[in-house]
Amino acid sequence: MNIEYTKERAIRLLRVEGVDLESLYREADSVRRKNMGDDVFIRGIVEFSNMCANNCLYCGIRASNKNVKRYTMGADEILDAAYAMAGSLQSTIVLQSGETPGLKDEELGEVIKRIKRETTLAVTVSAGNRPYETYRYWRECGMDRYLLRFETSDPALYDKLHPGSTLAERLKCLYSLQSLNVQTGSGFMIGVPGETIEMLADNILLCRKLDLDMIGIGPYIPHPRTPLGNEKNVYNGNPEIFFKAVAVLRIFNPDAHIPATTAFDAVFPGEGRNLALQRGANIFMPNNTPVAYRKDYLLYPGKPGVDESPDQSLNAAVLRIESLGRAVGKGPGHSIKSADKCRIRS
């Protein structure tokens, strides 16, 4: 059967209402079940540094925000978080930071080596644009995956939102990671000021073109201490679009891991991530950052769980997954895409 993956179809699906909307959600859930199964893999995030050299117009830890208490966790603190995760239901540690070396490349490399040597955890890193040589070094240290969201597929809007950076540079990093056979994740915000429904469709199509292993998306939420602090989400008043985006993303990317991101709970308290899991998502990412640091890693206000302990975050995640009749995935939950697939990029 020929399946249509066109911009026109994406836009049409993003605009459905009523009974057609319920049909969209059923289709997305069916595609998820057929290609990814019913298991939900839990990947624990450790936000090891909020140091950032960038001034993205929407981000709460942007370099110019002087109200942020900056921190970088030491190697031993990161390892302690990893040891606590090992043997739990979390099979992956996601080492996340702002886009500047909090830890030096070599220090982070040594942390990755020890996590791989001393635990069974898969290692994902999310630390922004870095040189090819850095990605290669971390890969040699044992890094399994890398997460680098492109945020918007429109070059002009990207340039506006990210002073001093370009979409072309971001994509070059993604291609570099894929050439190193790193499981590569990316994604985008939904409803950033300046976005149109056509751009949203293009975002979904770019994810498909990139053939990503994981795709993380979530609603744009204004942070008051940023240049866009007073700019509402362009879909304000139509929040259903956030879940439509997840559903269409799943239909267009049937074999990618899609997390139910925390931002959905910020917009829909207590149920956002549950609904995302019912409409195409298959990954849950609780916060394992030590509580002492959590309030200082706020990309947007109202982030859920900043006062929870890592154990509380994990237990809550498991209860939510089981309440949906789903099971927690066992093992690392690596990409189901062929590891030796030739990824040729122009």
Nearest to 213 by CA among 187, 244, 195: 187
Partner residues linked to 125 by β-bridges: 95, 146
This prediction's pTM: 0.96
Does residue 339 belong to any structural domain of this protein?
Answer: no
Between 201 and 237, the higher pLDDT residue: 201
Does residue 342 belong to any structural domain of this protein?
Answer: no
Does residue 301 belong to any structural domain of this protein?
Answer: yes
Can you say whether residue 2 is alpha, beta or left, with left for phi > 0 and alpha for psi between -120 and 50 degrees? beta
Domain CATH number, residue 42: 3.20.20.70
CA angle 6, 12, 17 (to 5 degrees): 150
Does residue 335 belong to any structural domain of this protein?
Answer: no
Cα 157 from Cα 167, distance rounded (Å): 9
Task: Please count the CA atoms within 13 angstroms of the CA of 31 that sit on its side-chain side.
Answer: 23
pLDDT score recorded for residue 1: 57
Q: Tell me the residue range of the domain where 218 lies.
A: 7-328
Does residue 61 belong to any structural domain of this protein?
Answer: yes
Does residue 267 belong to any structural domain of this protein?
Answer: yes
Does residue 343 belong to any structural domain of this protein?
Answer: no
Confidence tier at 102 by pLDDT (50, 70, 90): confident
Cα 226 from Cα 335, distance rounded (Å): 35
Domain count, the chain: 1
Does residue 183 belong to any structural domain of this protein?
Answer: yes
pLDDT digits (tens, 9 = 90+) for 259-308: 999 999 999 999 999 999 999 999 999 999 999 999 999 999 999 999 99
pLDDT digits (tens, 9 = 90+) for 54-67: 999 999 999 999 99
